[in-house]
Amino acid sequence: MRLRLLGVLLILLIARPVLADSYSRPAGFVVTHYDFAITLGDTNNEIAVRDTVSVRFTADGVRQIALDLCQPRTEAEPVDHSNPCLPREPYGAPKTAVAPAAGTGMQVTAVDAADGSPLTFTQSHDRLIITLKQPGRQGEDSRVTAVYHGVPANGLIIGTNRYGDREFFTNEWPDLARDWLAVIDHPSMKATTTMSVTAPRRYQVLSNGLKTEETDLPGDLRRTAWREGVPICTWQVSLAVAPMAVSDFGSFHGIPLSAWVFPQERDTGFKAFSEYTEPILEFYVDHIGPFSYEKLAQVEANGTGGGMELASDIFYGYPPTGPGRQLLAHEMAHQWFGDSATEKDWNDVWLSEGFATYFALLYTEHQDGRDAFLEGVEQSAGQARQYALAHPRSTLVHPDLRDISQVIANNAQIYQGGAQVLQMLRGVLGTTTFWDGIRLYYRRFRNANASSLDFQHAMEDACRQDADCPAYGRDLSWFFPEWLNRGGILKASGHWHYDAAAHELEVTLDQVSTDSQFYRMPFQIGITTAASPAGERRAVRPSPPPPPPVIMLTGAHTTLRIPLADAPESVVLDPNHWVTMAEVTFSRR
C-alpha cells in the first residue's frame, strides 16, 4: 500500500497538463488534397502558383476558408524569428540562403470557386481569407483555387550550390511552407498532394510520390508532375529543381529506390546511397511495419544541413565525401516516425526526433552488435544528461510553445533525451514487448497523427498482451510524466551487503531530491557468483538464465532483500545500461 500511495503522489506531483502549441487550428473543415501548379525560371526568383485546395466540411455554416500564406513585404521589418514570414535561417541552411524581407512574400491575384466563378478574398496578417458563396454543410466536399506569385523569404530555397549551379529546394520545417504555398501549415492537417512544375528543360524536377507527367513545352521548357497519394502535412511537401545526376538503383518490396545528386559528385553520392539504403529500409520494414510511400528518393540538396526527411524524398546536405550510414539511418527512420506517424502538435516533437535518433542506434545494434550500440547509447546519454543538468527546468515536452521557431531550441533534450526515454522504456518493458509496442503504435497511427499519450497507451496495451512483461509496465502513467514533463535527471546512491547468516543479499538505494519529488524507476541487479566446477557441466544445452532481479526505486530510501545461497563475487546496478538518465553511485558496504 505504501508503494502504491507513493506512486499516486508522484503522479499528482508531476501530472501532465493538456498541451498544444500556439497554432490556431481551422474550425469546420479539413483539407483533403492540394493541387499545386508552379512556374519558375532563371530570369529572377519569382515563382507563380496556381493552388487548388480541396476541403471537406466538418460542420454546418462554414462561410470562410483561411489559409496560411505570407503576404508581400514592401519594406524591411524588424527581426522577429517567431514570424515564419520574415527572414529566418532555415534549419541547417547556410546564411546566404536567407532572402531579404523587402520584396518577399506572395501576392494573390484571384480566387475561384469550383465552378470557376470568382470569390471574394483578403490577405491580412499573413493569412488568405476566402469567403464562400454559400455556407458549407457538414460532410460536403468543395474546392477553391488561388492564383498568386512572389519571391519566398523562406520555405523554398533559391540559390546556387557549391559548384555555382542554380537550384530550387524546399526546406519548410517546421512552419515555412506558408512562405510559398497557401496551406494549413501545421502537422495536424494531412492531405494528398499533386505538384506540377513548369521549369527550364535543363533541370531535373522531383517531388513527393510518383511521377505522372513529363512533357516538353515550347520555349525550352518542361512540365513535370508528381502525385503523392498518401496524406502528408505541409512541411513534408518536397520540391527539387536542379541539374542532377539520377540513378534508379533498385527496389525493395516494390518500393522504387533512387539517388539524385550533384552531377559533380555522382560517383560518391550514388555509391553511398546504393550501399546503405536497402539494408536500412529492410531493417525498418521488418521491425516496425510497412513503408508508407510510393517511392524512396535519396537527394543531395542545397540549403539543407544534415538531412530533411520529406515524405518519400529525403534531402541531405552532406560534404563532398558523401553521406554517412548513420545519417541515412536517422533520416530514413523519420519516414515511419515524423512523416507517417506524425505528432499532433509541435510540443511532442520528440515523437519524431527522439525516435529517429534512437532507431538509428537500433540499426547500429542490428548491424554492428551490442557493444557498438551501447557505445552509441552512452554517447547520446552523456549529451542528454549534460543538457538536463545545465537546464534543470527544461522539459522534453514543451509546456508552452508560443514561438514555434523554438521547437528544438533544447536540441540535445529533444534528440538525445528523447532517444534515452525509449532506451529506458525498453528496459522497463523488455525488448520483446518494446518492439511489439512500437509495431502497435505504428499500426494505429500510420499516416495519421499521435500524441505522447497515444504512444503511452500503445506501449501499455503491448505489455498487457505479453505475459512476460512486468506488472509495472501495464500502467505507465508513472513513467511518461517523469521523463517527458519533468526536467533534470535521477540522482541516487546505493550499496549492497551479503548477510551470510540469513543467506540474503541486501541492496539499498537512496534517492536525492531538492524538491521532494522522487523518481520511480526499476533497476536491474547483476549478480556474479563463483563458477560451477567444470566436472559438473551437463552435456545438454542449459536453460536460459532467469531474468535479473529488479529493485524498484520509489522514494527517498528503498531496500530489496534477495535470497542467495552463497556470497556473490560482485553485484552491479543496471548491468544492461537501461537507466541512462541517471547519476548513481553504487558500492559494497
* Edge-to-edge strands, sheet with 141-151: 105-113, 141-151, 47-57, 29-39, 191-200, 221-232, 210-217
* CATH number corresponding to 23-240: 2.60.40.1730
Grid coordinates of 354: 527522439
**79: β partners:** none
Which is it for strands 570-573 and 521-528: parallel, antiparallel or unpaired?
antiparallel
pTM: 0.93
Cell of 296: 524512396
Q: 343-484: what fold?
A: Neutral Protease; domain 2 (1.10.390)
Cα-based distances in Å from 292 to 174, 212, 280: 21, 19, 15
The ranges of the chain annotated as CATH 2.60.40.1730 are 23-240
Domain 490-529+546-588 grouped into CATH 2.60.40.1840: yes
- Cα–Cα dist 108/514, whole Å: 57
Specify whether the CB–CB gap between 587 and 495 falls below 8 A.
yes
Start-end of CATH 2.60.40.1840 domains in the chain: 490-529+546-588
Q: Is the dihedral of CA 383, 389, 391, 396 positive or negative?
A: positive
What are the C-alpha distances in Å from 357 to residues 274, 381, 414?
22, 11, 9
How many C-beta atoms surround the C-beta of residue 340 within 10 A?
25
Grid coordinates representing 46?
519569382
Question: At what angle are helices 266-287 and 325-333 packed, to 10 degrees?
Answer: 50
Alpha-carbon torsion, ordered 258, 262, 264, 270, to 10 deg: -20
Asked if 560 and 514 count as a contact pair (C-beta separation under 8 A), the reply is no
pLDDT tens-place values along the chain, 589 residues long:
333 333 433 333 344 445 689 899 999 999 999 999 999 999 999 999 999 999 999 999 999 999 999 999 988 888 788 899 987 766 655 555 544 568 999 999 999 999 999 999 999 999 999 999 999 999 999 999 999 999 999 999 999 999 999 999 999 999 999 999 999 999 999 999 999 999 999 999 999 999 999 999 999 999 999 999 999 999 999 999 999 999 999 999 999 999 999 999 999 999 999 999 999 999 999 999 999 999 999 999 998 889 999 999 999 998 888 899 999 999 999 999 999 999 999 999 999 999 999 999 999 999 999 999 999 999 999 999 999 999 999 999 999 899 999 999 999 999 999 999 999 999 999 999 999 999 999 999 999 999 999 999 999 999 999 999 999 999 999 999 999 999 999 999 999 999 999 999 999 999 988 777 899 999 999 999 886 444 444 445 556 677 899 999 999 999 999 999 999 999 999 999 999 999 999 999 9
Q: Decide which of 1.20.1630.10, 1.20.1440.230, 1.10.390.10, 2.40.128.90 is the CATH code for 244-335.
A: 1.10.390.10
The DSSP secondary-structure symbol of 352 reads: H
